[in-house]
């Protein structure tokens, strides 16, 4: 049996890899416009960093890739980046507010299915050092604006507030009491969730659990005054920006560090079970839990793989064109093609070529497949004359229907001539 990529992982080949990179570049531009700087942190951390995210969560208790290195350090591949950034904040103590964005692979030992992988990619942003509700609005607006820029229309923003730490704890106890009294009516997995974390029962999709949920206490009754005010200001801020949202009192999120604001972005173009393209919220206790000073924080992460699936479903954000500008067809043995192609590439021109001394016909076929606009032909005639022939390929520009035009260009002037043609073609393409 030949080896396969490990279950739940995949190779992302071109052009999809170029699309993923374009998504990251677009996110970087959006985040940097808002003053976020990139942080590149390790793919693995001491396990304690993630354990602080909440041992009651599946992400930490069941899904973490953990290992001991040869120096017997207990490490884990990062399942997310908020905890890593909080750790980096405690370690470096940058001036506040600290606004950071990131991208890269995350690792969770989940059951793989469409849109759910064991190695997946996120882009995200965190804002440390402010408990102003306007900071919550800023990060939500960043996530929203970016998704809209990708061309996603079927987006749903869902918001909730989990109250302060003590509100959340009182609510959790009240929920636990309620569910304990009706434990007999819950599904078997629902009872198991209740034992580990009653809050997580709120997003159970099982019909038995949902019936019990209908009468469960709601978080609103447990908010303290300042949490109520904070959430009111977040909602007004979103309204002022014209960002549509729904309130879902059952939105709790899968990580334990959230206080006050929690939100999720879902795509109606995706299958219901994996429709969350991103989520985030406020995590005011996290930095202190990692040994730093009390420092509030708010942020989000978006799943890049799922964003691209949503783009597929909506027919938007195609892979950037990978076509060559020029394809060098050399029937004199191939060494001349090496020289010309390198010269063109040095001038910033995308140049392809064939290998293995293929026939003229085979090389022209390859030129066609490459999507190049021009074929640059070098035969014995051209070589003797110190020239090349330039042929516009069918399907490009004026040559679309007519016989393709071919003309000679002096070998020494070929890079300058193609640059001139590219500039002219770009101007034509951008003309209104």
In the complex, the residues that contact ligand HAM under the rule CB under 6 A are: 80-82, 108, 110, 116-117, 120, 122, 124, 126, 254-255, 276-281, 283, 299-301, 303, 305-306
Instruction: Pull the structure tokens for residue 124.
Output: 């995200």
Assess contact for 297 and 53: CB atoms under 8 A.
no
Q: How far apart are CA 29 and CA 40, in angstroms?
A: 16
Give 237 or 280: the residue with its C-beta nearer to ligand HAM: 280
Provide, rounded to whole angstroms, the least separation between the CB of residue 9 and ligand HAM. Answer: 11
Q: Are 294 and 288 in contact (CB under 8 A)?
A: yes
Min CB(251)–ligand HAM separation in Å: 11
Q: Which is nearer to ligand HAM, 27 or 120 (CB)?
A: 120
In the bound state with ligand HAM, the residue whose beta carbon lies nearer, of 109 and 178, is 109
Q: How far is the CB of 177 from ligand HAM (least distance, A)?
A: 28
Residue number, nearest CB to ligand HAM: 303
Q: How far is the CB of 284 from ligand HAM (least distance, A)?
A: 11
Q: 276 vs 421, which CB is nearer to ligand HAM?
A: 276
Q: Which is nearer to ligand HAM, 30 or 337 (CB)?
A: 30
CB of 265 to ligand HAM, least distance (A): 7
Measure Cα distances from 133 to 30, 76, 228, 232, 260 in Å. Answer: 21, 33, 11, 9, 10
CB closer to ligand HAM, 270 vs 324:
270
Minimum separation from the CB atom of position 45 to ligand HAM (A): 13
Q: How far is the CB of 310 from ligand HAM (least distance, A)?
A: 9
| 203 vs 368, beta carbon nearer ligand HAM | 203
């Amino acid at each position: 049996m030949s080896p396969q990529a490990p279950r739940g992982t995949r190779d992302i080949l071109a052009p999809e890899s170029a699309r993923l990179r374009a998504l990251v570049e677009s996110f970087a531009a959006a985040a940097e416009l808002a003053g976020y700087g990139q942080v590149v942190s390790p793919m693995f951390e001491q396990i304690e960093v993630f354990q602080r995210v909440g041992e009651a969560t599946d992400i930490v208790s069941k899904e973490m890739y953990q290992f001991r290195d040869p120096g017997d350090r207990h490490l884990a591949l990062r399942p997310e980046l908020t905890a890593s950034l909080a750790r980096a904040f405690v370690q470096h103590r940058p001036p506040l507010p600290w606004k950071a964005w990131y991208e890269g692979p995350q690792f969770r030992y989940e059951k793989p299915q469409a849109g759910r992988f064991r190695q997946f990619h996120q882009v995200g942003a965190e804002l440390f050092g402010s408990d102003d509700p306007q900071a919550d609005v800023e990060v939500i607006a960043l996530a929203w604006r970016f998704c809209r820029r990708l061309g996603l229309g079927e987006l749903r923003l869902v918001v909730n507030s989990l109250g302060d730490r003590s509100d959340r704890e009182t609510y959790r106890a009240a929920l636990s009491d309620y569910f304990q009294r009706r434990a007999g009516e819950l599904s078997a997995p629902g009872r198991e969730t209740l034992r580990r974390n009653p809050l997580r029962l709120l997003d159970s999709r099982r019909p038995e659990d949902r019936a019990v949920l209908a009468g469960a206490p709601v978080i609103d009754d447990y908010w303290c005054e300042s949490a109520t005010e904070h959430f009111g200001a977040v909602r007004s801020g979103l309204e002022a920006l014209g960002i549509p949202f729904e309130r879902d009192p059952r939105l709790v999120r899968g990580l334990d560090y959230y206080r006050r604001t929690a939100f999720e972005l879902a795509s109606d173009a995706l299958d219901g079970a994996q429709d969350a393209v991103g989520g985030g919220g406020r995590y005011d206790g996290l930095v202190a839990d990692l040994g730093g000073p009390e420092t509030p924080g708010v942020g989000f992460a978006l799943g890049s793989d799922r964003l691209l699936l949503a783009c597929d479903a909506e027919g938007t954000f195609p892979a950037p064109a990978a076509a060559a500008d020029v394809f060098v067809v050399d029937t004199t043995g191939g060494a001349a093609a090496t020289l010309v192609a390198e010269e063109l590439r040095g001038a910033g021109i995308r140049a392809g070529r064939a290998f293995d001394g293929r026939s003229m016909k085979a090389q022209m076929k390859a030129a066609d497949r490459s999507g190049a606009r021009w074929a640059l032909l070098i035969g014995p005639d051209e070589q003797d004359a110190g020239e090349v022939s330039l042929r516009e390929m069918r399907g490009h520009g004026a040559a679309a229907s007519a016989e393709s035009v071919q003309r000679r260009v002096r070998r020494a002037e070929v890079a300058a001539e193609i640059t001139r043609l590219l500039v002219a073609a770009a101007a034509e393409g951008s003309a209104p």
